[in-house]
Structure 1
């Protein structure tokens, strides 16, 4: 008994499956990638050596249209070969008239499904071909851009609004603050979720992101450069560790100080005296389970002790890190990017010389550009400067005292995960928990 199987996949849409999916019972497997060369060989071999069973995953793999599928089904059946679709309820057989009528009725139903599947496939193939040419996906261009012939073009009337939004976020590290700033200055009202999408949208960085998750770099003019984009990503990662809304709080210690015993976060409260303008700030536990509750602490006192502790402990903490040489990691990633860019140039040369056909070259170039984008993303996640050198700079107490509260908040959250307060009978101590 001879059993053969046929596999077809479009490299634009999917990765080719392994031939081993059919198991050891199959005598021969024919597999096509985009073309139909192996299908023609299958027909020739069936004429030479009789075959009993023909296996296929789905009937639509037989052709690119309903007519092709029907014709190739007929070709196989006329040879007396039994067809089995493993992922569909179809199998041809030597059946009685009643059974044959049921099979034909089921086939008509399958053909209608195949027709719909083929239409969807042609649409996806069109989108895939556009991806190979780095053409933007269908739909409205993001705010700040307009659609050109084959790429996004900066809209000079709205791009400054987006640019100002990014700059505001980079300065203060507050998403909600940047959203409020847009509404106040430009009367441009957006939601916080929309602002978060702006911050992570690859289009504003000069890249294209597609539904399959792949990103292609340098496809159009960016609104923010790579250094700004990397800093935005670091700020977003840092803000995820903080309690809700504290990223936009006006005070630098908001969301950072917790009780070491009950792990209750603290809130910043202000107190004023009657007929006096001076404001007194305190850190109060939010959900302290103790009775009586832990007393409030002077905000300025806690702030001063944190600054002193950072100046003493940060250099030692950084010196004790067993981290790889940052420069060597960056150099390795840069070398990989350069190597792939050289291959990309060689692909273009091979196409001009006729060694590669256009379709194969476009597919290879697309995969190379996606790999380059991934490496550039890894490079962007690395710290921009040497941490030890930075630690020496920020270990000067006057550096912290000269900063505004918003600036101090920014730098605190670059180094600190949280500050734990341990209370004693008459005094208290604090412990810094660094992010590294």
Structure 2
């Protein structure tokens, strides 16, 4: 598959890697670097806007540390001449309405502003849409967030990134400077076999939106982290799994009529069907394309699964689809091993009598005890749909909080009769009974 993309896409160099918790790392490189270095797993490629996922993680680290709130206006943390009322959340999800690029013709001059100039020029930047109106991609917005992180942490964006993300996760090849082991990026002529090298570029203060270089192996590991952080960062040193859950929740779609892609907090979300989603980002810079995605959900998907494909052509668009095909093919042809079921301890005695079928709103739900937790599913739920999971409130033994699934966040309350038997449930205030009842209490068993 990689060789076909390199040949048919006419990409001078393609590097691919696939990471999963249950198999050795898989890599493949095809082509040549276009310079005196040999193409291999340690060859650096520019990853472009995949950089935004790193900046987003840095922002969420600041939130978790109490340095900001996602609904804070950026002007509360940065001295800006305009657009200070735009919130961190809107900038992360590309729903702020801020124009796409910094002021000026950056893509003509290839001269990016410094930090002071970037912020000062916000006075000349447009709000092209009202906030929250729709998805509108903005490199400028992510660059502003990079400056916000640098200001809050007391260092440059690159220094903070290396200290707080790259080093803890072992992404030793990822850098804001290419170094001698980098491939040359090319524009491949549409009507001949000529490949012309693109000029090197330094995006200065716009770096948080697209400056980084990396290897396919580092990026496959990063993709696996975005999909399954607990496997690569079990102590939550970089980011708590619950925070990644929050980042992966879709806040907008990228097309109002074709809901084929969503955007969370700095992350692209691509549904694959059968309750599978690929999470990550694409990247494009002069002479380079990159696609880095982790896989979540579905039968056969192993833990910590991520794929990265990096290419040294700005027009080799086949690179962008290849990670998704690699992930799907790996699951189809080498699925995760099926873990055997083993008997477990019984449900707590005070809950055993309430397990089974209950009726609410005219529909049946099944309450059960699995994996040490109280769970509930609608009787008609399709296979693979996650259950609602409940956690007891420590000071109220017959009250539970829904911690995931349907009605997440809502309370489940048990009502008992004089004998101690559970005779009624209230979930999100809706009444559940052992038999089907109308809202005013008519029991169809009578």
| TM-score, with structure 2 as normaliser | 0.19
Higher strand share: 2
Higher helix share: 1
Higher relative contact order (CA 8 A, sep 6+): 2
